[in-house]
């Protein structure tokens, strides 16, 4: 007796292989100005959810208060993010991605698309 498979069933093995391939592409893609994975992750997060408070970035990036403070300070110095007062709470600071920071993320996305197309052509 032949069993029929539902074409909508997810082939977990193939899905895992695709995720692994994409992860390799993402990690191996040369970094612009040698930015770290954590730096790129913060910029990527801010490109979708800007502005964010530091404690929100700590939670999403799973880093310490000290690490995120140092990273945001460096990103601000490099013109990739800026800090502004939270209009709803004067004690809090919001981190905004700048147009230069957004360009870094856009450039990496274009590079990834190009690399994926080349590898699967």
Nearest to 46 by CA among 19, 89, 18, 84: 84
Nearest to 98 by CA among 117, 80, 77: 80
Question: What is the radius of gyration, based on Cα positions, of the chain?
Answer: 19
What pLDDT shows up at residue 35? 81
Mean pLDDT confidence for 88-111? 92
Cα(69)–Cα(24) distance, integer angstroms: 29
What pLDDT shows up at residue 5? 63
Strand segments (E) across the chain: 52-53, 81-86, 89-97
Q: Give 114 or 39, the one with higher predicted confidence.
A: 39
45-87 pLDDT per residue, tens: 999 998 999 999 999 999 999 999 999 999 999 999 999 999 9
Confidence category of residue 97, pLDDT binned at 50, 70, 90: very high
Q: What is the mean pLDDT of the chain?
A: 85
Q: 17 vs 29, 56, 70, 108, CA distance in Å?
A: 18, 31, 35, 22
Share of the chain above pLDDT 70, in %: 83
What pLDDT shows up at residue 25? 66
CATH C-level class of 34-119: mainly alpha
Cα(99)–Cα(8) distance, integer angstroms: 41
Q: What is the DSSP letter of 63?
A: -
């Amino acid at each position: 007796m032949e069993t029929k498979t539902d074409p909508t069933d997810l082939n977990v093995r193939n899905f895992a292989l695709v995720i692994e391939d994409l992860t390799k592409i993402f990690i191996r893609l040369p970094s612009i100005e040698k930015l770290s994975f954590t730096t790129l992750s913060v910029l990527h997060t801010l490109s979708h959810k800007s502005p964010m408070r530091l404690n929100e970035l700590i939670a999403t990036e799973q880093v310490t208060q000290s690490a995120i403070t140092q990273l945001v300070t460096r990103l601000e110095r490099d013109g990739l993010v800026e800090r502004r007062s939270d209009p709803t709470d004067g004690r809090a600071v919001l981190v905004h991605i700048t147009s230069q920071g957004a360009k870094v993320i856009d450039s990496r996305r274009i590079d990834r698309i190009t690399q994926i197309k080349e590898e699967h052509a």
